[in-house]
Amino acid sequence: MKNKTIIFQDLGIMDYKACWDYQEKLFNQIVSQKIANRDSENPTPTKNYLLFVEHPHVYTLGKSGNETNLLINEKQLIDNDATFYKINRGGDITYHGPGQLVAYPIFDLDNFFTDIHKYLRYLEEAIILTLAEFNIEGERSAGETGVWLDVEKNSARKICAMGVKCSRWVTMHGLAFNVNANLNYFNNIVPCGIADKAVTSLNLEIGKEIELNEVKTKVLKHLVNLFDATLSAN
């Protein structure tokens, strides 16, 4: 039996490692339930979670990333009030910080569809649809996961980075949407390992700071609609 209910939690501002541990806990619970269901005559539907969070300044390097894309040393990390983690998602290096909406879907894709490429495109589409509500045209860049602006121009720039893990069709990690982010922190890395394209933030494109809760509402709406899901608070 498919469970298309998503348990939504807005975690506010949360330390990266604490949130990573929490993701792992939820992820492992879902995987364990799937394994238990194999031998059960009355299988219990697995749960799906969606976490929204902001992190203090942190750089994370995916398992396929190159550590040389972090351009500062340990002392400079401390001076920038930032931390650094090697983590178990796909993708290269990225930055998380205040003013950035990070979304972590911990979904059992058996409840929706077992197609990781479709899953990634849905995450991108939620941001593209949100940007359209601010009269900004978000785009995909061939071979580069995430959401971009002016892809075919010299001014191409990334507004949303993505990196996920999927095992037994259970997902974790997710997307990072620059809303009011301090873009100076991106100067300390080669974002996503891509040296020839810039990054941007929604407030920079619009010319004023954006209410983060407004953006959260829009992104949540589009994710729920795309996955044809219903929301629960617990």
**Residue 138, both tokens:** 């978000």
Classify residue 172 as exposed, middle or buried by CB count within 10 Å of its CB (0-12, 13-18, 19+). buried
* Predicted confidence pLDDT, tens digits, the chain (234 residues): 799 999 999 999 999 999 999 999 999 999 999 999 988 888 999 999 999 999 999 999 888 788 888 888 889 988 888 999 888 887 788 899 999 999 999 999 999 999 999 999 999 999 999 999 999 999 999 888 899 999 999 889 999 999 999 999 999 999 999 999 999 998 888 765 555 568 999 999 999 999 999 999 999 999 999 999 999 876
Which residue among the candidates 19, 160, 166, 192 is catalytic per the annotation?
A: 192
How many percent of the chain have pLDDT more than 90? Answer: 73
At residue 100, φ and ψ (nearest 5 deg) are -115, 130
Task: Report helix, strand or coil for 91.
Answer: coil
- Tens digit of pLDDT for each residue in 92-109? 888 999 999 999 999 999
* Spatial separation of the C-alpha atoms in residues 114 and 169, rounded to whole Å: 7
Active site residue 160: no
- Tens digit of pLDDT for each residue in 201-211? 999 999 999 99
- The whole domain housing 122 covers 5-232
CATH number (domain holding residue 44): 3.30.930.10
How many domains in the chain? 1
Q: Specify the DSSP class assigned to residue 80.
A: T
Residue 96: beta bridge partners? 58
Among 1, 167, 206, 91, CA closest to 214: 206
Tell me if 169 sits within 8 A of 108, measured CB to CB: yes
